A and B are shown apart, each in its own frame.
Chain A
Amino acid sequence: MLRLTKLAVRLSLATALVVSATSTIAADTIKIGWLSSLTGALSSAAIAENQGVQLAVDEINKSGGILGRQIELLTRDTAGDPTKAVNFAQQLAFSDKVHFVIGPVNSGEGLAAVPILARAGVPNLVIGAIDELIDPVKYPRAFRVINTNRQWISTANDYAIKVLKKSKVAVIADTSGYGTASAKTAIEMLEKAGIKPVYSVLVDNNKTDLTDEMNKARAAGADVVMPWTAATGMLGRLLNARGEIGWNVPVVGHPAIMAAQIRQLLNKPEYWQNAYAAGYVSTTFSADGKLPERTQQLVDKIRPKLGGGEIDILFWWVAMGYDTVKIIEHAIKTAGSTDAAALQKVLENTRDYRGVYATYSWSTTERNGFPDSNMAVNQANTFKDGSFKLAPR
C-alpha cells in the first residue's frame, strides 16, 4: 500500500513537472495562426503563399527566432469555406491563444472571420482585396497587406487612358458579386476621369460565346476593352472572340488575363497579344530582363524548395506570404513584446517598411498598407519564372 502511495506521489510529481515544462515551452514560442485555403477551389494562391510563409518561418527560427523566441506556426486549412474559417479563427484566438493571425486568404472567408479576430483583439494581417475587410474603428487590429480591388482598377484605367491614350472604353464584367461590384467601381472611376464608357455589359461567366458582346463593343466605337472577371473561361472566350472577328483592340483589366490557364483556352496563341493586366512592380522584369533585387533574392532562395526548375506559380503570392511573417517579426521586435495593443501601435506607426512584395505603410486612420506606386501593368503573354514583362509605356 505504502509503495503504491509512493508511486502515485512520484507519478503526480512527474506529471506536474512535464506539464509545467510544456507550458514554459508554450509561453516561450510566438504563436502565429495561418488561415489558409490549401485545398478546394480557391487553393492555388494559398498554396503559393504558404511557400513564402513557411520559408520565412524556417529562416527566422534558424537564426534564433524573434527576441529569442521560436515561431510556432499553426496552419489551418479552411478549404475556402467561410464556416470553417470562422471555426478555426475562434479556435486560434480563444483556445490556442495565438499572438497574430495571417489570413484568411479569400474575401468571402475574410468577411466572416475578421470580425471574430477583431472581437478577440488578435492582431490580424488581412490578405483579401475587398473594401469591407478594412475598418480602423470596427477592426482596429486588422492591417491589409495586399492591394485593394480599387488599386487594380485604377491601375488598369490609368494605363488605358494615359498610356494607351484611349477614351472609348468598353467595360465587360461577369454577373458574379465580384464582377458586378467591380464593373460599377470601374465605371465610376472612369467617369470621375471624365470618360463615359461607350459600352458596358455584364455577362454570365459560363456564356459559351462572347462574339456578340465584342461586336457590340466594336459597333459602339470602343478603342479599348476592359474586362473585370476572375473567370479564366470567360476571359479565354473574350480573347477568342476578339481574334475570330479580327479586331485588334487592346484588352486591359483584371490580373486573371495573364493567368497561365488562359494560354490553353485560346484558339491561337497570338490571340493573347495586345492584352495587359494590373500587376506588381515587384514581379515585373525590367527592360534588361531583371527582377527587382529583393524579388530575385527570394526567387533564388525558394527555387530549390519548388523543385529547382522554372517557377510555375505566380510569384507575387509567394512574396506576399513571405512578407506577412517578416511584418510580424518587425512588429514584435519593435514592440519588444507580443502584447496585442503594443503590436497595433507599432503597425500604426509603420512607414515604408520594405518587403519583397511591396513597401508597406499604415497609420492610425489607414489600414491599407499597399502603396499605389507598387502597382504595375504587365503584358499578358509574358509569364516567366512567376513574373511578367512590363507593358509598353
Chain B
Amino acid sequence: MLTVIVTGLAIGMLYASIALVYNVMFSTSKVLSVTTGHLSMVGGVFGAYIISVLQMHWLWGLLGAVLAGATFGWLTDVLAIRRVLARSDEHLWLLSTLALATMVQQGVGLWWGTEPKPFPRLITQEFGAGLMDQKFWLPIGMAIVMTIGLEFFYRKTMYGKVFIAMSEDAFAARARGVSTDKIRLLSYVLSGALGGLAGFAAGQLTFAFFALGHTLTLLGFIALAVGGLGSNIGALIGGAALGLLNSFASYYFGGEYQQTIAVGLLMVVLLIKPEGLLGAKNVRPV
C-alpha cells in the first residue's frame, strides 16, 4: 500500500509543480498556456542531454534545464502571447500556445528521438532502495521548495508584489507606472525556469521523453483547477490529490480507468466548487 501512496505522491507533486508554473504565468497574463507541460519535458530532455550525452556534472545539467526552460518561456511570450493579447481579447492564446507547444514537441522528437531515454542518477544511490529511491523524493522535494520559494517571492520581493498587483488589476498596475509587458515577459521567463526545474527533478520518474508535454499540460491543469487557480498551496494539494487518486484508481481498477477518473475529478470539482479548494471566489463588482 505504501508503494501506491509514494508513487502517487511523487507523480502528483510533478503535477503540482506544473500547476505552480501555470499560476506564475496566469498571474500576469490571465493566460493558461498549453506550453506549460512542455516546459518540463524540455527541462528533462536537456538535463539528460547535458549529463548523459555531453558527460558533464549534473549541476550543469540543472543549469541547462533551467536555461532551456527559461528560453522556451521567453519564446512563448514573444511568439504566442504578446501579439495575441495586444490584438484581441478572445481566447486565441489557446491556439497560439497549442501551436507553439506542438512545434516544440515535434522539434524535440526529431532531434532527441521518439523513444524514451533514461535520465541519469543525480545522487549516488544504489538501485533497489525501494521507496527511499531518489526518483520519488526529488519531485516531491522540488514541489515543496518551489511552493515555499514562490510564497517568499510574492510576499517579500518587489517583483513579487508587482506580479500580485498585475494579477489583481493589470490596468490599475499600468496606471501606476508598472511596465506590464516587461513584467509579463519576466513572469514567462520565471515560469519557464521553474518548469524546466520541475522536469529535471522528475526526470528519473518520467524518463527523458518528447511526448510528455501534452499529458503534463492536462494533468497540471486539473491539479490547478482542483486546488484553485492562483493559490500555490492549493496547487500542491490539488497535485497530491490527483496523483494519489490516479495511483489508487490504477491499483484497484486498472490503468484503463486512470484517465477517466482524473478528468472525472475535474468535472466533480467544476460542478461542486468551481473556484477550486483554495481558489478566490470570483466576485464581480457591480
Contact = CB atoms under 8 A, between A and B. Distances in A.
Nearest to A260: B115
A143 to B, nearest CB: 30
A265 B207 contact: yes
> Max chain A CB contacts within 10 Å: which of B117, B209, B212, B259?
B117
A75 interface: no
Contacts of A240: 127
Given A175-B255, A204-B259, A236-B118, 7 more contacts: A203-B250, A206-B209, A208-B10, A208-B205, A236-B207, A240-B127, A265-B116
Contacts of A211: 3, 7
A271 to B, nearest CB: 9
A262 to B, nearest CB: 9
The 5 closest A-B pairs by CB, nearest first: A233-B116, A267-B127, A203-B255, A41-B114, A204-B255
Nearest to A43: B114
B254 interface: yes
Given A208-B206, A261-B115, A265-B116, A201 B254 contact: yes
B130 interface: yes
B141 interface: no
7 contacts: A175-B255, A175-B259, A180-B256, A203-B250, A204-B250, A232-B116, A265-B117
A175 B109 CA distance: 22
A382 interface: no
Contacts of B127: 240, 243-244, 267-268
A207 interface: yes
A233 B117 CA distance: 8
A209 interface: yes
Contacts of B206: 206, 208
Contacts of A95: none
Contact of A265 (B118, B128, B212): B118
Contacts of A267: 127
Interface residues of B, number: 28
A204 B258 contact: yes
A212 interface: yes
B11 interface: yes
B150 interface: no
Interface string A100-131: 00000000000000000000000000000000
Interface of A: 41, 174-175, 180, 201-204, 206-209, 211-212, 215, 232-233, 236, 240, 243-244, 246, 261, 264-265, 267-268
A202 B256 contact: yes
A293 to B, nearest CB: 33
Interface string B105-131: 000010000111110000000011010
Contacts of A233: 115-116, 207, 209
Contacts of B3: 209, 211-212, 215
Contacts of B209: 206, 233
A209 B255 CA distance: 12
Contacts of A244: 127-128, 130
B152 interface: no
A163 B207 CA distance: 35
Contacts of A175: 255-256, 258-259
Contacts of A207: 250, 255, 258
B4 interface: yes
Nearest to B206: A208
B215 interface: yes
Contact of A212 (B7, B256, B259): B7
B241 to A, nearest CB: 17
B251 interface: yes
Contact of A201 (B7, B115, B215, B255): B255
B115 A206 contact: no
A206 B215 CA distance: 9
Contacts of A202: 254-256
